[in-house]
Amino acid sequence: LPAAVLLKDMKLMDVKLGQLPSWLAMRDFTPGGIVGAFRRGHDRYYNKYINVKKGGLGGISMLLAGYVVISYIWSYSHL
């Protein structure tokens, strides 16, 4: 049997819909918490797609696609 995981330690994908409000209430929405979340996301992305022994085009193409979408949104302000 897997050990019980506390709600605050669960990932968003593992949270049930009924648990979502209480899970969100436990998040840290201070500026430091938000910066930490972005840093963890960047580290996860970097280690998964960029910092690999045998790399491919996956990480770089995702980065380029994101840049294209952001440039398109910035160019067309009516979106």
Question: pTM for this structure?
Answer: 0.55
Q: Is 55 helix (H, G, I), strand (E, B) or coil?
A: coil
> Alpha carbon of 23 to those of 7, 17, 20, 29, 58: distances in Å?
6, 10, 5, 12, 32
Pick from 8, 6, 4: which is nearest to 25 by CA? 8
Nearest to 23 by CA among 32, 34, 13, 38: 13
15-73 pLDDT, tens per residue? 888 988 888 888 888 999 999 989 999 998 888 877 877 767 777 888 899 999 999 98
